[in-house]
A and B are shown apart, each in its own frame.
Chain A
Amino acid sequence: MTALLEVEGLEISFGSLAAVRGASLQVNKGETHCLVGESGCGKSVTALSIMGLLARNGRRDARVLRFDGTDLLALNERAMSRLRGNRLAMIFQEPMTSLNPAYTVGSQMIEVMQRHRGATRAAALARAEELLARVRITSPGMRLGQYPHQLSGGLRQRVMIAMALMCSPELLIADEPTTALDVTVQAQILRLLSDLQKDLGLAILLITHDLGVVARTAHRVSVMYAGEVVESAPVAQLFTKPMHPYTRGLLDCVPVPGKVRRDQPLGSIPGMVPRMTQSFRGCAFVERCTLARPDCAGEIVRHRLAAQHDYLCQIPPDRVTAP
């Protein structure tokens, strides 16, 4: 398996806030790597930092940040912008922050292709229309002439997906791409992405809160908590043998169709993610963890359960009770 994206020891900070603290992950060609974790744990900023799109007040540092062998840390903004939207594309979490309300869908879609590929307006328009149809938008011609606010949430989301695919990227970073969609469209879009993956070897870094999507699309899953990757495993392992107490809590919160009871509270993890600073030591989950013990305030061990499965927690594998 060839690594297309390699991230090691990623650190992101905003002033005193340590948003990402030494995260590592790898996305291979033709593979879907899902990134999950509580709101605010640093998933989106991780994605943005790979794209070189962190807000100005953000600082990025890493031991390794490579795309297809190219050291992204060494690229200047001009070189980076040649990759972005081209070989490396992103679907943003907030459609309205990446769709400009002042321009029609069509003009925003063709702009990327004219810029990177020097395509003619007509060719770019044809491609845009074809992609809108592929993401199951009807009357694509009419939609090209519309402004973002005239679309429903689900339509906007699909426009974003089509836009990211304009230049046939090798790596697609998708931040909650199907959250606003109904499940039938979600299934169709996920099948489309999986077809592209099979046909073109597309690598996908998929950020999602939906553990159903994770279970059905991921090859590998990384779970983040308070800026760290606290567990990483092949998908089947993660669901059958979750090791980190946070991962285990997370799986309990999911209302499972056909198994939920009305008027009975769902499993939840009381409390919320703490705000992290650079000087923080110990496990960030300690205050919410039912298995916490005194040494959780010290240096935390990364246990390895299998070649591809590791987790960051003091409790050794044989002491984690079966789910």
Chain B
Amino acid sequence: MTTPLIEIRDVGHQFRVKSGLFAQPKRIVAVDGVSLSLPAGGVLGVVGESGCGKSTLAKIILGLIEPSAGEVLIDGRRLDGLDRRERARLIQPVFQDPYSSLNPRRRVRDIVGVPLVAQGGIADGEIRRRVDAMLARVGLDPELGERQPAELSGGQRQRVAIARALVLHPRIVVCDEPTSALDVSVQAQILNLLAELRRELGLSYLFISHNLAVVEHVASEVAVMYLGRIVERAETETLFRAPRHPYTKALLASVLTPEPGLGIPDTELGDTMPDPANIPPGCRFHPRCPAAIDRCRSDAPMPRRDRRGLAECHLVEMA
């Protein structure tokens, strides 16, 4: 078997939050015992509740947050053993917000060149050449290279972010909601671009999004997160055709297709919301689970896998 490009084992992270002068600091469990792997050339979609830890997981994989537990291997090597320059050549981010993720006071060309400059020892002429090539590759007029981010549209800014992420020819791009700040026509342009670049440059993506139709379109495999854990994982077609975990089912049932007259679906998840500062005993989804049985309230399900994928629920029958 070939080494997966990303392999993470039992990774966890907690934040401490003070809630008032005299209160005990609370611990927020953002990521809890997550294991996953991304094969070369794959696109792993990550979906899940707001606040379930997707961005924290992305930042851990990028080396921006040091996890409180577990290990992260990038291309078979421990993340904490790679120096910053090596890491930058392997893995790069594209974040949600094209407004705040680009330095407003620099020219586009300089922003795209940052990773090259940070490598050190690359001649100015070479940097210029590679930046120009990259700008052209993401569909930006070289003339735009002289402008500042404020003078660009949202879609153009996201292209700049993609150009910056790709200029070192990394092998993995972590996309954290790369199109959720964009309108659908620009989103379609960016998704088409990402797909083209993946085929041409042999990239692999970790792709986080709330938009399930987008994930269905881009991902080869999908992981569903809930309160810091991966509760289901399967190949994209399998997951969308036959979701097994009750949370995945609720998620798919909540998708608003563009069909007028159908109204807003009832999620049937009740009124209690997941609280990362207060993880319930048993299955952490049980307070909201429409299918929960007694056992779910006391007994935490273990992740189990079969050929259809992985699920963490007492009621899922394994094949």
Asked whether, in the complex, the Cβ of A153 is within 8 Å of the Cβ of B50, the reply is yes
Whether, in the assembled complex, A165 has its beta carbon less than 8 Å from a beta carbon of chain B, the answer is no
Question: CB of A154 within 8 A of chain B?
Answer: yes
- The answer, yes or no, to whether B125 is at the interface (CB within 8 Å) is no
- State whether the Cβ of A262 lies closer than 8 Å to any Cβ in chain B: yes
Q: Which of chain A's residues have a CB closer than 8 A to the CB of B192? A: 265-266, 268
Partner of A262 from the list B26, B185, B217 (CB cut-off 8 Å) is: B217
Within 8 A of A (CB), among B39-62: 47-52, 55
Q: How distant is the Cα of A179 from the Cα of B181 in the complex, in angstroms?
A: 8
- For the complex formed, measure the closest distance between the CB of A40 and the CB atoms of chain B, giving whole angstroms: 5
Q: Is there a chain A Cβ closer than 8 Å to B254's Cβ? A: yes
**A residues 129-166 in Cβ contact with B at 8 Å:** 136-139, 141-142, 145-146, 150, 152-155, 157
Interface residues of A in 17-55 (CB under 8 A from B): 36-40
A139 touches B278 (CB 8 A): yes
A39 contacts which chain B residues (CB < 8 A)?
Answer: 153-155, 182-183, 186
Q: Is residue A209 contacting chain B, with contact meaning CB distance below 8 A?
A: yes
Does B69 lie at the interface of the complex (its beta carbon under 8 Å from any beta carbon of A)?
A: no
B216 near A: Cβ within 8 Å? yes
B199 to chain A, nearest CB (A): 8
Q: How far is the CA of A139 from the CA of B51 in the complex (A)?
A: 14
Total contacting residues, chain A, CB less than 8 A: 70
Q: Is the CB of B188 within 8 A of A268?
A: yes
B96 within 8 A of A: yes
Question: When A39-B153, A142-B17 are in contact, do A184 and B250 touch as well, CB less than 8 Å?
Answer: yes
CB 8 Å contact bits of A167-189 with B (1 = contact, 0 = none): 00000000000011111111110
B133 within 8 A of A: no
B178 at the A interface (CB under 8 A):
no
Complexed CA–CA distance, A136 and B51 (Å): 12
CA distance A215 to B258 in the complex (A): 5
B48 to chain A, nearest CB (A): 7
Do A239 and B259 have beta carbons less than 8 Å apart? yes
B273 engages A182 (CB within 8 Å): no
Interface residue tally for chain B (C-beta within 8 Å): 71
Interface 0/1 of A195-234, CB less than 8 Å to B? 0000000000000011111111110000000000000000
| Cross-chain contact B269 with A216 (CB below 8 angstroms) | no
Contact of A186 among B15, B252, B256, B257 (CB under 8 A): B256
A130 to B156, CA, bound (A): 41
A139-B185 contact given A190-B264, A266-B192, CB 8 Å threshold: no
Given the interface contacts A38-B183, A38-B185, A268-B189, does A216 sit within 8 Å of B264 by beta carbon? yes
- Decide if A181 touches B50 in the complex (CB within 8 Å): yes
* Residue of B whose beta carbon sits closest to that of A40: B153
| Residue pair B258, A155 in contact (C-beta under 8 Å) | no
Interface: B300 (CB within 8 A): no
Provide the bound-state CA to CA distance between A36 and B18, in Å.
40
- Chain A's nearest CB lies how many Å from the CB of B109? 20
Known: A152-B50, A249-B185. A138 touches B264 (CB 8 A): no
Contact A139 B277 (CB under 8 A): yes
Q: Are A251 and B50 in contact (CB under 8 A)?
A: no
Contact B258 A239 (CB under 8 A): yes
CB distance from B269 to the nearest CB of A (A): 6
Chain A residues with CB below 8 A from B2, complex form: none
A187: contacting residue among B23, B47, B219, B265, CB under 8 A? B265
- Partner pick for B51 among A155, A216, A267, CB 8 A cutoff: A155
Given A142-B19, A155-B51, A263-B195, the answer on whether A183 and B256 have CB atoms closer than 8 Å is yes
Question: Is B191 an interface residue, CB under 8 A from the partner?
Answer: yes
- A94 and B47 CA atoms in complex are apart in Å by 22
A152-B254 in contact given A138-B273, A139-B275 (Cβ < 8 Å) = no
Residues of A within 8 A of B150 (CB): none
Partner of B188, one of A188, A210, A267: A267
Q: Which chain B residues border A216 with CB–CB below 8 Å?
A: 256, 259-260, 262-264
Please tell me if A269 contacts chain B, counting CB pairs below 8 Å.
yes
Closest A residue, CB atoms, query B272:
A138
Q: Evaluate whether A258 and B269 lie within 8 angstroms (CB atoms) in the complex, with A184-B251, A187-B254 already known.
A: no
B214: A residues at CB distance < 8 A: 255
* Cβ distance B101 to chain A, nearest Cβ, rounded Å: 13
In the bound complex, how far is the Cα of B274 from the Cα of A270, in angstroms? 42
**20 A-B contact pairs sorted by A residue (CB < 8 Å):** A145-B18, A153-B96, A155-B50, A180-B50, A181-B50, A182-B210, A186-B256, A187-B254, A187-B256, A188-B269, A211-B258, A212-B255, A215-B258, A250-B185, A254-B258, A255-B217, A257-B240, A257-B257, A261-B217, A273-B153
Q: Which residues of A contact B (CB under 8 A)?
A: 36-40, 94, 96, 136-139, 141-142, 145-146, 150, 152-155, 157, 179-188, 190-191, 194, 209-218, 235-236, 238-240, 249-251, 253-258, 260-263, 265-270, 272-273
Extra contacts, 5 of them, besides A39-B186, A138-B274, A154-B51 (Cβ < 8 A), are: A138-B273, A215-B261, A236-B261, A254-B258, A269-B188
Q: Point out residues on B near A: beta carbons under 8 Å.
A: 15, 17-20, 23, 26, 47-52, 55, 96, 99-100, 153-156, 180-189, 191-192, 195, 210-214, 216-220, 236, 240, 250-252, 254-267, 269, 271-275, 277-278
